[in-house]
Amino acid sequence: MKVSVMTAKRFLAGDERAASEVYGAYRGLVYFLIGSLLDNKEDRDDVYQETFLRLLGSKEDIKRPEALESYLLQTAKNLSYEVLRKKRVEQIPETLYECLGQEDTRGFYDEIEEALPRRELFAFMLAEVYGYSVREIASFAGISKSSIARDLKRAKEILKEKYRNEKEN
């Protein structure tokens, strides 16, 4: 059920009854959208709650009352995608030891520098040597988190292959 433009205007003006109508009208649709993107119930519930909190917090920013539904659904979708991106980044092995299957990394840095392309080396060194998170590297470098995560994953794949081949020889 869609809310009328008049109800949307009242909501944007701060009317609590209109806020209740907006919530009632869109809660099922928003939860369905989030549920179609996220498997984890806790993630779905968090995104659901955050979607409506963001709507309440950004009423002043919505200039067209007729776009309220679009804004709400786009917010739910963006927040869901953000959760998915974070989960992908978290799946990247976190330590150099885990990556290489080594307990001691001394003496490997020169070899690492020779083995990796420049971009992958940048991500790998900042993450594994200096301990920066993917988010920090992305912010510092002005590159998306997904690009940094991809570069870091690629660096680890290259190094695993390199050291696997050396063990076999």
Element (H, E) at 45: helix 41-57
Render each residue's pLDDT in the chain as its tens digit; 169 residues: 688 999 999 999 989 999 999 999 999 999 999 998 888 899 999 999 999 999 989 888 888 999 899 999 999 999 998 888 777 655 544 445 455 555 555 555 667 777 888 888 888 888 876 678 888 888 877 889 999 999 999 988 888 887 777 667 6
Neighbouring CB atoms inside 10 A of 134's CB total 24
- In this structure, whether the domain defined by 5-90 belongs to CATH 1.10.287.3510 is answered with no
pTM: 0.54
1 CB-near residues (< 8 Å, 6+ apart) = 25
Element (H, E) at 7: helix 5-12
Tokens of 163: 């050291």
Q: How many CA atoms lie within 13 A of 129 on its CB side?
A: 14
Quote the CA–CA distance of 108 and 168 in Å, as a whole number. Answer: 18
CATH of 96-168, one of 1.10.3080.10, 1.10.10.10, 2.40.50.140, 3.40.50.720: 1.10.10.10
Comma-separated ranges of CATH 1.10.1740.10 domains in the chain = 5-90
